[in-house]
Every structure is written in C-alpha cells, then in structure tokens.
Structure 1
Amino acid sequence: MRRICVYCGSSSGNDPLHRSAAHALGAFLARNGIGLVYGGGHVGLMGAVADGALSEKGEVIGVIPQSLMEKELGHGSVTELHVVKSMHERKQLMVDLSEGFIALPGGFGTLDELFETLTWLQLSFHDKPVGLLNVGGFFDGLIDFIGHMTRSGFIRAEHAASLLVAPTAETLLARMEEFRPPDLGKWIEKLAAEGR
C-alpha cells in the first residue's frame, strides 16, 4: 500500500499509551515507505501520528475543513495540507487519497469516519481494507457490540469480518495487505429472500 489513512482523536485522551501508540504508528508507516493521510490537525493523537511519520521523514498529507483550522490547529510541517469546505469533502478526499484505513482511539468523529468508510466497503463503493488498531483493548467494547449486532441479524458475518482488528501495527498491516473484500453478489436481494 502506498498510503494509509489514519482516523484518530484531536484529543490525546487520558492514557499516555494512546499518544505513544499514535506516534509509533506514524513512524512505523514511514519506515515502511507508506504515506500517511490524516485529519490535518496538529493536536491530540492527530498531531502525534503526523509527528511520528515526520520523525522518520515520511510523507504526511493532512485534510482539514476551513472551519476547523483554528479549532484543530492545522499542522504546519506536513508534506501537504488540503483545506476543504466541509466534513463531507474532507472524508471523501481522505478516502480518495488512501489505499487503506486504520482507526486509533478517538471520539465521535473517529467513529463517524470509521463507520462511514466501513459502510462504503460493505456497499462496494470501495474495496480497501479497514482496520482497528486496538491499543490496550480500547475498542473491546465496540468489537463486542459489533458481534451483538451481527448475532441480532443486522450485520452479515462476512461484513463484520471485513473490519480487521489487531493489537499491533505490524500485525494489522500484514492483515491489511492480505485483505480481499467479501464477494456476496447481490447481498441485499439475498437478505430480502431470507426475510430480513
């Protein structure tokens, strides 16, 4: 993969492990010749992942809406900083620029980006791998809830399995490199036939 998009918080959270993991992920991508696409901020985990990649002289492309330039403090040292008009434009450009996606710890914005990208994969709007870097078990509750939604019949098992999960960047990247999207044909018609 040439570029990976990382979704993460504009806050650092309460656990120093999250910030160090973000910095380490950015550095890991750069050492492996993979460019970073991210939300363009200079604070929180966003700043840490960008700084990690820059510390290893990696390519870093930020995408940030004009309205958030002051709130999230656009990073002044990245390779490219795209300032866009809206959150929708931000998310679309990040998807267009990337060949895979990793979510680190974050809040509502991180989950919004993660699930929109995962939904687009489910609907075959793209065929790129989507992964969770489960730092210190941060996403355990979310993983359990996805299992609950699957058991409840709202997510097909094949789609749930499309979300790749690993505790380390090395393991996650290896799984992303091997990823092939599920081929379910016209799965919406199949659901109708099954009475779902």
Structure 2
Amino acid sequence: MQNIAVFCGAKPGNDPVYRQAAVLTGQALARAGLGLVFGGSVNGLMGTVADAALAEGGRVIGVMPEHLTRQEPIHPGLSELIPVDTMAERKSTMLEISDGFLALPGGSGTLDEIFEAITLSQIGQHRKPCAFLNIEGFYDPLLAFLAGARDQGFLHPDYYRMLICSGSVDEILRQMDSFVHPHSR
C-alpha cells in the first residue's frame, strides 16, 4: 500500500477523543510510510489528520472541489493539491489514487465517501480494503444496521466480513496490509 484515503468530518465533533484519534491516524500513516489522501480542508478532523501526518514528515494529498474552497479553506501545508470540479470527481479521484479507505468519525459526507468505496468493492470495481475507526463506539449503530442487513439477506456475509473495524488505527493498518478481497479467493 502507498496511499490511504481518510474520510472524516469537516467538523471536529463534540468529544476531544475524536480529535486525538485523528492525530493518531495521521501519525500512524506517516510513520508507516503511507501517504494520506483526504478532502484537502484545514477544517475539523480533516485538518487535524493532515496536520499530524505533516508533522511526522508524511505525504499529504488533498482532493478539493473548486466550489468548496469558499466554505472549507484548503490546508496550507499540502504536499499536493488535486483540484476537481465536483464531489463525484473528488470521490473518483480519491478511489483511483488510494490503496485503502478509512472512515474516522464524521457525518453524511464521510458516510457517502466510505459507502461508495464499499459498494464499488462489492461489485468488483476494486479490491482495496475499507475500514472504520470505531472510536468510543461511534460506528456501533451503523455496524449493527449492517449486521441486520446481512441477517435479513440484504448484504452478503462475505461483504460484511470484509469490512475492517477497530478502535485502533495500528490494528486497522495491520488488517489492511493483509487484506484479501472475497473475490480474490
């Protein structure tokens, strides 16, 4: 793996534990020699994870739609900025240049991004790992929903099992490194 896309909030959240998780994520990526691909903003958890990766000497690639720069200022320390026209192009670019996808806490944009990666994996468009950093049980309700969808026959058990989930970014990176897609067996 060379680059990991991190999807997370453009807001910091209410609990400082989320910010700390973003710091640990940026540090872990840089220390592992993995580039960070993210939305490019200085705001919220996005800015925090980028700051931490940069402070450790990591490579940080921002992918930012031009129209969003009025709401979300571009992070000034980026190693590379890839300007795009639309949110769809942002996701497509991030999917193309990343070797794995990690969702930290966030809102609807975070879910949109990670679920596009998951869905494209399920239909065979890529075979890259998808993960949730489950800080303080943030993703427990979502994971329960997905387990219910599996149990009710709407999500193939292989696709549920391929999702990586942990409260530890180091554990997630280990699992991503050894990930084998169900279609590869």
What TM-score, normalized to structure 1?
0.92
Q: Distance in 1 between matches of 2:76 and 2:20?
A: 21
Runs of 4+ off more than 3 Å: none
The alpha carbon displacement at 1:184 in A equals: 8.5
Partner of 1:170: 170
Structure 2 stretches lacking a partner, 5+ long = none
The alpha carbon displacement at 1:183 in A equals: 2.5
2:4 and 2:98 in contact (8 A); partners too: yes
The alpha carbon displacement at 1:100 in A equals: 0.5
Q: Distance in 2 between matches of 1:179 and 1:47?
A: 28
Whether 1:121 aligns to 2:131 is no
Amino acid aligned to 1:156: H
2:162 and 2:182 in contact (8 A); partners too: yes
Partner of 1:159: 159
Structure 1 stretches lacking a partner, 5+ long = 186-196
Partner of 2:110: 110
Amino acid aligned to 1:163: L
Q: Distance in 1 between matches of 2:66 and 2:23?
A: 25
Partner of 1:69, secondary structure, is helix
The alpha carbon displacement at 1:23 in A equals: 1.3
Q: Distance in 2 between matches of 1:95 and 1:184?
A: 19
2:124 and 2:183 in contact (8 A); partners too: no
Q: Distance in 2 between matches of 1:179 and 1:77?
A: 31
How many pairs align?
185
Question: CA RMSD for the aligned pairs?
Answer: 1.1
What CA deviation, in whole Å up to 9, does each residue of 1:160-182 have, x standing for no partner? 11111011011111111111111
Whether 1:11 aligns to 2:34 is no
Q: Distance in 2 between matches of 1:86 and 1:147?
A: 32
What CA deviation, in whole Å up to 9, does each residue of 1:10-59 have, x standing for no partner? 00010110011101100111011111000000010000000010010100
Partner of 1:55: 55
Partner of 1:34: 34
What CA deviation, in whole Å up to 9, does each residue of 1:65-104 have, x standing for no partner? 0111121111111100111100010001001111001000
The alpha carbon displacement at 1:115 in A equals: 0.5
Amino acid aligned to 1:59: R
Amino acid aligned to 1:93: T
Q: Distance in 1 between matches of 2:48 and 2:134?
A: 17
Partner of 2:183, secondary structure, is coil
- The 5 A counterparts of 1:76-155 are 76-155=76-155
In structure 2, do the counterparts of structure 1 residues 184 and 62 end up closer, same or farther at CA, with 3 Å as the change threshold? closer
